[in-house]
A = this chain, B = another copy of it.
Amino acid sequence: MRRSIKKAAASQAVLDPLCEEPLYMQIANRLANEISTGRLAPGMRIPSETELMSMHGVSRITVRQAIALLTRNGQVVAHRGKGTFVSRPPLHQDLSMLQGFQDALRNQGVEPQTELLEFSISAGRTDRTLAHGLDLPVRLRRRYCVDGQPFAVVEAFLPASAAAVGEKRARDLIVYEILQQFLGLRIGRADVVIRCAPATVQVARELSINARTNVLVMERTSRTAPGTICEFTRIYIIPERYTFRLSLPGPLEIASALRPVETAKRLKLH
């Protein structure tokens, strides 16, 4: 893979010293061109500083200026100790259908690295962040990494029977696999809430971000067909790397837009 990148870049390696454009900008433009044509695809490592220096016969300073420009433009991102990579456009999840978080990633060609943070059964009272009266004593916490960087922390609360899943499967099975294939439950409905809220101290540490940084939070409550809550999942997602999408059909109800002034006044609280 690295050889083919080198070859692609090398084929355009001749810079024009008489061009008005500074050398660093010529290098940046060539890399940007490789990215826009897809020869350097999202998630791929770009040539190292040393490789770019020898390809173009320029100083390290010039190469660094080129990479800094691409970084400022959001076209590449440096991962400490690993190199500089072509940025990935934000991953997304289509809200028009019920879909697991991992499946949403996989449908975009991304296989997240999964790490089991916790798989426990609370004897007494369940998690204090959980609504009262929910009987979901099994707690499953996982971290997902994409491109080697922490991407999301998932906390799932499941029925007692999910304890039999065991640690190994708890790491790999998606939540809906546990509910459907393992527990034989049939999902009747899921209620989704999306908000922006500070990560807890624990989650911030797990995501390698500053404590109390606001992140994207999705909470999902799934029910079986008879209406029993069989799952509550909370997902904390790194900002700017994920979007939720939905298409809504028009026309807008005219009733809502044509609100009479009297109604607005009556509702006024101040």
Contacts and interface: CB of A to CB of B under 8 A. Distances in A.
A242 B259 CA distance: 23
Interface in A195-250: 195-198, 213-216, 222, 225, 237, 239-240, 242-250
Interface string A170-187: 000010110011000011
Contacts of A197: 239-240
Interface residues of A, number: 66
Residue among A98, A111, A195 with max Cβ neighbours from chain B (10 Å):
A195
A122 interface: no
Interface of A: 43, 90, 92, 95, 97-100, 103, 106, 109-111, 113, 147-148, 174, 176-177, 180-181, 186-198, 213-216, 222, 225, 237, 239-240, 242-254, 256-259, 263-264, 267-270
23 contacts: A97-B253, A100-B252, A100-B256, A111-B268, A180-B252, A180-B254, A181-B258, A188-B249, A189-B249, A190-B248, A190-B250, A191-B247, A194-B194, A194-B245, A195-B216, A195-B239, A195-B242, A196-B196, A196-B215, A196-B216, A197-B239, A214-B214, A244-B244
